[in-house]
Structure 1
Amino acid sequence: MSKLYFRYAAMNAGKSTNLLQAAYNYEERGMRVRLFTAALDNRTGVGVIGSRLGLQRQVETFGPETEFSLEGLGEGIACVLIDEAQFLTHEQVQQLHRLAHRGGPPVLCYGLRSDFRGAAFPGSAALLTLADDLEEMKTICACARKASMNLRVDGEGRRVKEGEQVVIGGNERYRAVCPSCFYAEDDDEVPAPGLFG
């Protein structure tokens, strides 16, 4: 029986690279896959999964109106892979869980667990509740500890503590940090990428 998987991590842990590698592994063996990313993520172009290593692939997009069903999936699909899964709705996660358990292929979702305030994204909360298999992917903070949180920064590198949950951006907007750095009271202590202290 298939399962719903959730691979989560802070920013820059290699989630997209891992997803693209999984798709390649299936396709190298002659199997068909369906890949999706959030329509609102335009960092490397709409409908493009891109990794910091330079790997890119044009894929299908999902938005709040997208429905995931066995009938809509098509015949002979060996796996469904979803990037930016934090942007799924609770209903979509339920659909994917149902799909995996009602004769569909395995569904592998990759995304962030929490936002820049330490709050869960709706899709992530649903995945943490329903996924049959959870795996935390690891990355490191600038202080060399395990990073499990995300900080949002402004154009000058200062921490942003308030605002909308979703602001699309990469290294220019976000830093993956450990909990100690996340809870540092001094905004000037935001760890810069690549610096160890």
Structure 2
Amino acid sequence: MAQLYFYYSAMNAGKSTALLQSDYNYHERGMKTRLLTAQLDNRFGEGRIASRIGLEKLADTFNEDTDLIRWFEQSPDVNCILIDEAQFLTRKQVDDLAVIVDEKNVPVLCYGIRTDFQGELFTGSERLLAIADKLTELKTVCHCGRKAIMVVRMDEHGNALAEGAQVQIGGNERYVSMCRQHYYEALRPK
């Protein structure tokens, strides 16, 4: 029986690496997968899932208007769907993924960040936390050694930002994963 999985974390926990490893495992067994990533995250090129350790693979892309049922119907003979940057999915898209799991018996593995730099849930993450069959937290660490659960957005001078648009694409140059204590300390006015 297929299930809807959500692997979530703060940044730099190895979500893309884990996704690419799962993809490799399916292919090693002679199975077919489809990969999907957010169109707006083109740091490594459009439609490219890349990990910090050098693994990468091409993928289809989605935006808020992508009809995932129609996308699935273009290649319905897959054994698994793997989605990177799942926090950017809409509520309807997550519900459509559940339909694919339940009605087509195809497992869907979603990987994404749970909360934004203000500690608020992303829409896709919120819906996945609500309806996924399996939830798995991938862990990373704060500079103090404790588990990092928050993400701090930094300006060009290394100062933590408390305001701004929810989505601003960036990597290590813009975001730092921290434990809750250091997250709040970083945001305190100096």
In structure 2, what residue type is equivalent to 1:51? S
Number of matched pairs: 188
Question: Normalised by the size of structure 1, how large is the TM-score?
Answer: 0.92
2:36 alignment partner in structure 1: 36
Once the two structures are superposed, what CA deviation does each residue of 1:80-138 show, in whole Å capped at 9, x if it has no partner? 00000000000000000111011231000000000000000000001001101000000
Q: Contact conserved, 1:4 with 1:131, CA < 8 A, in 2? A: yes
Please list every run of 5 or more consecutive structure 1 residues that lacks an aligned counterpart in the other structure: 189-197
Structure 1, 17-26 or 74-83: larger mean CA deviation: 74-83
Map of 1:135-154 to 2, 5 A cutoff? 135-154=136-155
Once the two structures are superposed, what CA deviation does each residue of 1:133-164 show, in whole Å capped at 9, x if it has no partner? 00000000011100011000011111011000
- Name the CA distance, whole Å, in 1 between partners of 2:97 and 2:66: 11
Map of 1:34-183 to 2, 5 A cutoff? 34-69=34-69, 72-183=73-184
Q: Contact conserved, 1:154 with 1:173, CA < 8 A, in 2? A: yes
- Name the CA distance, whole Å, in 2 between partners of 1:75 and 1:125: 27
Shift of the alpha carbon at 1:29?
A: 1.0
Do the aligned partners of residues 10 and 18 (structure 1) sit closer, same or farther apart at CA in structure 2, a change above 3 Å counting?
same
In structure 1, what residue type is equivalent to 2:173? E
- Name the CA distance, whole Å, in 2 between partners of 1:74 and 1:173: 37
- Name the CA distance, whole Å, in 1 between partners of 2:42 and 2:66: 18
Structure 1, 146-155 or 178-187: larger mean CA deviation: 178-187
Once the two structures are superposed, what CA deviation does each residue of 1:21-46 show, in whole Å capped at 9, x if it has no partner? 00000011110000000000011111
Percent identity (aligned): 52
Partner SS state of residue 7, structure 1: strand
- Name the CA distance, whole Å, in 2 between partners of 1:43 and 1:169: 7
Shift of the alpha carbon at 1:67?
A: 1.4
Once the two structures are superposed, what CA deviation does each residue of 1:150-184 show, in whole Å capped at 9, x if it has no partner? 00001111101100000000000000000011111
Q: Contact conserved, 1:158 with 1:187, CA < 8 A, in 2? A: no
Shift of the alpha carbon at 1:58?
A: 1.1
Do the aligned partners of residues 17 and 118 (structure 1) sit closer, same or farther apart at CA in structure 2, a change above 3 Å counting?
same
Partner SS state of residue 80, structure 2: strand
In structure 2, what residue type is equivalent to 1:44? F
- Name the CA distance, whole Å, in 2 between partners of 1:16 and 1:144: 22
- Name the CA distance, whole Å, in 2 between partners of 1:93 and 1:32: 21
Shift of the alpha carbon at 1:74?
A: 2.0
- Name the CA distance, whole Å, in 1 between partners of 2:80 and 2:73: 14
Please list every run of 5 or more consecutive structure 2 residues that lacks an aligned counterpart in the other structure: none
Question: Normalised by the size of structure 2, how large is the TM-score?
Answer: 0.95
Do the aligned partners of residues 12 and 81 (structure 1) sit closer, same or farther apart at CA in structure 2, a change above 3 Å counting?
same
